[in-house]
Each structure stands twice: as C-alpha cells, then as structure tokens.
C-alpha cells in the first residue's frame, strides 16, 4: 500500500501594479482556511506593459484563477476568451477563471461586492431608493450594472467630466429600462436633489481634491458609502458624518468582491462577514 500523495494546492493570485498593499492574499487565505479548501493565493506584480504575458505565464504554471486590480481591469476583460454580461457592460473584469484547456473566462465581482456589503453587512436595501453615484471612471462602471439590478427608484450619476457620466447612462440605458430604474446624469456643478444612498466612486481624495459634491445631497440618515477604505476614504466619511449621514467605507466591498470570486472559483461560499470583522480588527490593531 502506498501512502496517499499530498496534492499540491490549487494556484490563484491577484495581479496589479503596484500590488504590495493588497489584502487579497490574506482574505483568500482566511476563506480557504474557513472552508477547508486547499489553495495557494499569491500577490503578483505584473509589468505595466506585460499583463497578458503575465497571465499566460501564470496559466502555464497551472494557475486556476486570478483577481485583477488597478490598472489592468480593462486588459483583463480584453484578454479573455469569454466574458460575463457584467463584464460586457462594465468593459472591465476583476476575476478570471481558467479552465482545464487554459481558456480564460472573465467576470466582474466588484458590483456584487458593493451590493452585498450595502444590503447584507450594512443592512440597507437599495430597492426603491434614490441613489447617487459620484464618479464615472472604471470604479463606477464596474458597479453600475449590479446596482441597477437592485431596482432602486432612481440612479443619478454625476462626474467632474459630465460627458463620462452621460456615456455610462447611455451604455446602461437598456438594463435600466428592464429594471424600471430612472437612470440619469446630472452636472456635478449645480447638482439637485437629495438621496437615500450616496456612493463615492471617485479618486478625488487620491488626487488631493476635496469633496466633489454639495452637502444638500445628504438626507438625515442617508448612507454615504466610499468605495475606498483607510486614509483615502476618511475625508468623505468625516464630511458625511458631520452632515448627519451614516458613513461606511469600502472594506466590506473588498471582502465581499473577494467572496464572490472565491465562490465562482470553488463553488463554495466563504463566511465573508466573519472575515470582514477579522480584517477590521487587524487593521485597527495595526493603526
């Protein structure tokens, strides 16, 4: 009788540039431990001009799937053999699944992560609500489809560059009509109305910009969500709290998008809320 050979773990990674800051290896290691999955999830720096080659090298090593972060999400969608409807709409992917033939299927779990964090972890329904999405770059495009699928009453997009907000409205018009959502763009200057849920998807804080929207958009108790976390989100969260809104950072979105990717790869749902709690405690202890 031979002793059973220990099998090598299934290989996953996250590609980015930079990548050293990524919490994804820690999150996926916790998911794997808590669900008894045998996998190795690494952080990999891809050269700015070498994303597709890095993915091919990873596949040659036996890679089963990867996450993709800034600045490669568009390239990730472009390098795939097939893409989900979410990727088609967003034009960007954050999750690649690699089949036994080395073919790549691209998905995008960012929007699923945002929706899960708002509805499950923050306990706020989007359905029937007035939602403001601030920003119209890649981060906003990645979440718009899943937000519309929650059937808010209205979804307003505003952006420093108005034409980009209008382009997102145009590309999501059919989905909005199917979901019976009033989807519109508004000028950031002279933004009108107030909202139940305000989502900051801009990089304004990283660019040294202030809060790009007026405080009257907040209702008492509005949820003011920044898709970033840590110091990059603090200015927006402080501003929201000062005006009576409920602030929430994007740490839960980070964990939930990872959980959705893990579920696509492994067919098993990890305990995201528990891992979010652990990560918050870890970051608080390190601060």
Site string for ligand ATR, 13-32 (x = CB under 6 A): --------------------
Residue 174 in 3-state DSSP?
helix
Nearer residue to ligand ATR within complex by CB, 90 or 272: 90
Beta strand 39-45 with 154-159 is unpaired
CA gap 154, 217 in Å, rounded: 14
Task: For residue 202, state whether it binds ligand ATR (rule: CB under 6 A).
Answer: yes
Q: Report if residue 87 touches ligand ATR, rule: CB under 6 A.
A: no
Which residue lies nearer to ligand ATR by CB, 209 or 230? 209
- Which of residues 140 and 275 has its CB atom nearest to ligand ATR in the complex? 140
Site string for ligand ATR, 89-118 (x = CB under 6 A): ------------------------------
Round to the nearest angstrom and report the end-to-end CA distance of the chain: 53
d(CA 87, CA 46) in angstroms, rounded, equals 21
Long-range contacts of 262-265 (CB under 8 A, 24+ apart): 262/28, 262/31, 264/65, 264/95, 264/97, 264/107, 264/109, 265/12, 265/64, 265/65, 265/97
Stretch that binds ligand ATR, among 80-88, 103-111, 115-123, 197-205 (CB under 6 A): 197-205
Site for ligand ATR, rule CB under 6 A: 135-140, 159-161, 164, 202-204, 207, 209, 212
């Amino acid at each position: 009788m031979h002793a059973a050979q220990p099998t090598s773990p299934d290989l996953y990674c996250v590609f980015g540039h930079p990548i050293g800051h990524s919490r994804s290896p820690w999150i996926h290691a916790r998911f794997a431990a808590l669900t008894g999955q045998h996998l190795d999830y690494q952080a990999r720096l891809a050269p700015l001009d070498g994303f597709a080659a890095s993915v091919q090298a990873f596949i040659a090593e036996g890679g089963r799937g990867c996450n993709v972060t800034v600045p490669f999400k568009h390239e990730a969608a472009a390098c795939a053999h097939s893409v989900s409807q979410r990727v088609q709409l967003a034009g960007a992917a954050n999750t690649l699944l690699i089949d036994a033939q080395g073919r790549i299927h691209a998905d995008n779990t960012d929007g699923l992560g945002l929706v899960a964090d708002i509805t499950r972890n923050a306990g706020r329904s989007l359905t029937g609500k007035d939602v403001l999405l601030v920003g119209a770059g890649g981060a906003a495009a990645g979440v718009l489809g899943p937000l519309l699928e929650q059937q808010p009453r209205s979804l307003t997009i505003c952006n420093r560059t108005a034409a980009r907000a209008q382009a997102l409205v145009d590309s999501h018009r059919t989905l909005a009509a199917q979901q019976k959502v009033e989807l519109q763009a508004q000028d950031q200057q002279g933004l009108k109305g107030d909202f139940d849920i305000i989502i900051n998807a801009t990089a304004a804080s990283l660019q040294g910009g202030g809060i790009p929207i007026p405080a009257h958009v907040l209702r008492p108790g509005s949820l003011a969500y920044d898709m970033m976390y840590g110091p990059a989100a603090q200015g927006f969260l402080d501003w929201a709290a000062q005006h009576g809104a409920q602030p929430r950072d994007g740490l839960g979105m980070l964990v939930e998008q990872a959980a959705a990717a893990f579920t696509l790869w492994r067919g098993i749902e990890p305990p995201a809320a528990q891992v979010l709690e652990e990560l918050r405690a870890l970051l608080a202890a390190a601060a």
